[in-house]
Amino acid sequence: MTTTVDTTTAPTAAPTTRGRLRLHGLTATVLRLHRPALLVWCAYLLLMVGGMLWVHHVSGAQARAAQDTCRGQAGGCIDFDMFAFEEGMSLVGTFVAYASYAVAAWAGASLTGRELESGTARLAWTQSVTPTRWLTVKLAVPAVALTVGTTVLMLVYRWIWSANEGLRSDEWYYSDPFVNRGPAVVAYALCALAVGALAGLALKRALPALGTALAFIVCLHLYLDERSDTLWPAKTLTGTAASRLPMSAEQLDLGAVTGSGARINDLTCFDVDTDAGYARCMADNGFTDLYAEVHPQSHFWPLHLMTTGLVLTVTALLVLASFHLLRRRTGGTS
């Protein structure tokens, strides 16, 4: 008797990745290619969030305790813990506000410039990846990471800045708090990404693109730091209201009005405390009024949103210029 052995083997089941999200195609390629930059970005976010929490829970607690001790002393005292808190807050605020500089340098050197310089971009375009789709994914993947990351930083910074009003010495119109407490910090990061991509496409070399993108975002940031207070009409105060401004008001222009109606930069009567002293000072100097052009604290959001809108407009123009340049370089291939 012969025994028949069934040699037919069951088909091997394809391996599954149950519970895991796996990306495919160009998105996965971009993530693999720029994995070091993504890891650095994640480490930066953890470091900044950890630093801000340390400033709030450790340095802030020490400063509050020292502040209470100083209040109980007749002659007061030097609060070194307060200095430590302010230095820590200033340091993390600077790193958050100017992260766009590093983004511009990376985008110019690595996002597009290096691939065009080495020729890997053209190789990708010959393998069923159109230039437009290549650039779209190149911009979209880091844009998502930047938007999520900088939004987290903005929310944490805003919370800590507001929670320590009695400890901090900076005001809402100072450069770092002005940028970090709203979507402007996100807009700057996206603008840095866009200018880096355009510089890489235009120059097709990593190092020149790095320098060009960095110079552009630095100039834009510094320009808006100086000119953002002109993006919304200032409030004009006169009389004693002009001479007794709250500390939270950003002072743009102060002075006196002469009998001829001319404004002069004279602050002689601004330090007078009493109404009688104010009237006497005005009469002695021949002034008819005082004036002050200011931005009160209520102007933060109008100024901030105008700045954000301006930066996002520049970003959109840079992105459009990038796609236009790419189509010209590739003969209009989509």
Phi and psi, residue 212, nearest 5°: -65, -45
Residue 81 pLDDT: 67
Give domain status of residue 4, yes or no. no
Residue 177 is predicted with a pLDDT of 95
Q: How confident is the model at residue 19 (pLDDT cuts 50, 70, 90)?
A: very low
176: its two tokens: 């770092």
Mean pLDDT of 5-16: 43
Same domain as 97, residue 52: yes
315 touches 190 (CB < 8 A)? yes
Please check whether residue 83 is in contact with residue 60, taking contact to mean a CB–CB distance below 8 angstroms.
no
Q: Are residues 40 and 162 in the same domain?
A: yes
Its sign, for the CA torsion 119, 122, 127, 130, is positive
Which DSSP letter does residue 166 get? T
Sheet with strand 263-264: strands edge to edge: 235-238, 287-295, 250-258, 263-264
Query: Is 270 within the bounds of a domain?
Result: yes
For the entire predicted model, the pTM comes to 0.86
| 75-132 pLDDT, tens digit each | 556 666 678 888 889 999 999 999 999 999 999 888 888 888 877 777 777 777 788 8
- Dihedral of alpha carbons 40, 41, 44, 49, sign: negative
State whether 146 and 210 are in the same domain.
Answer: yes
Token code pair at residue 225: 């730091």
Between residues 74 and 128, the one the model is more confident about: 128
d(CA 315, CA 309) in angstroms, rounded, equals 10
Query: What per-residue confidence (pLDDT) applies to 300?
Result: 96
The per-residue pLDDT for range 188-223, each reduced to its tens digit, is: 999 999 999 999 999 989 899 999 999 999 999 999
Encode 178-198: b = buried (16+ Cβ within 10 Å), e = exposed: bbbbbbbbbbbbbbbbbbbbb
Is the four-CA dihedral 65, 71, 76, 82 of positive or negative sign?
Answer: positive
Pair (99, 137) in one structural domain: yes
| Cβ atoms 201, 193 nearer than 8 A | no
- Do both 92 and 176 map to the same domain? yes
Inside any domain, residue 15: no
Q: Considering only 24-38, 97-111, 257-271, 288-302, which range has the smallest mean pLDDT?
A: 24-38
269 shares a domain with 220 = no
Q: What is the pLDDT of residues 301-313, one digit of tens each?
A: 999 999 999 999 9
Domain, as residue range, for 124 = 27-70+78-232+307-329
Indicate whether 151 and 264 sit together in one domain. no
Report pLDDT digits (tens) over 232-254: 999 999 988 888 888 889 999 99
Alpha-carbon gap, residue 104 to 111, rounded angstroms: 10
* Model pLDDT, residue 143: 95
User: By mean pLDDT, which of 126-140, 156-170, 219-233 is the weakest?
Assistant: 126-140
Task: Tell me, yes or no, whether 291 and 316 share the same domain.
Answer: no
pLDDT at 167: 83
Tokens of 149: 């990351």
Give yes or no: residues 190 and 321 share one domain.
yes
150 lies in the same domain as 175: yes
Q: What local confidence, expressed as pLDDT, does residue 12 receive?
A: 41
4 pLDDT band (50/70/90 cuts)?
very low
Task: Write out the two tokens for 42.
Answer: 């994640």
Structural domain total, the chain: 2
Q: Is residue 156 part of a domain?
A: yes
The model's pLDDT over 257-268, given as tens digits with 9 standing for 90+, comes to: 988 889 998 888
**Residue 244 pLDDT:** 86
Binned at pLDDT 50, 70 and 90, residue 67 comes out as: confident
| Distance between CA atoms of residues 145 and 141, nearest Å | 7
Quick one: how far is CA 333 from the chain centroid? 35
Tell me how far CA of residue 110 lies from CA of 34, 71, 122, 199, in angstroms.
8, 54, 15, 11
Do 186 and 257 sit in the same domain of this protein?
no
Contacts of 280 (CB under 8 A, 6+ apart): none
pLDDT band at 332 (very low <50, low <70, confident <90, very high): low
Do 260 and 225 fall within a single domain? no
**Portion of the chain with pLDDT greater than 70, in percent:** 89
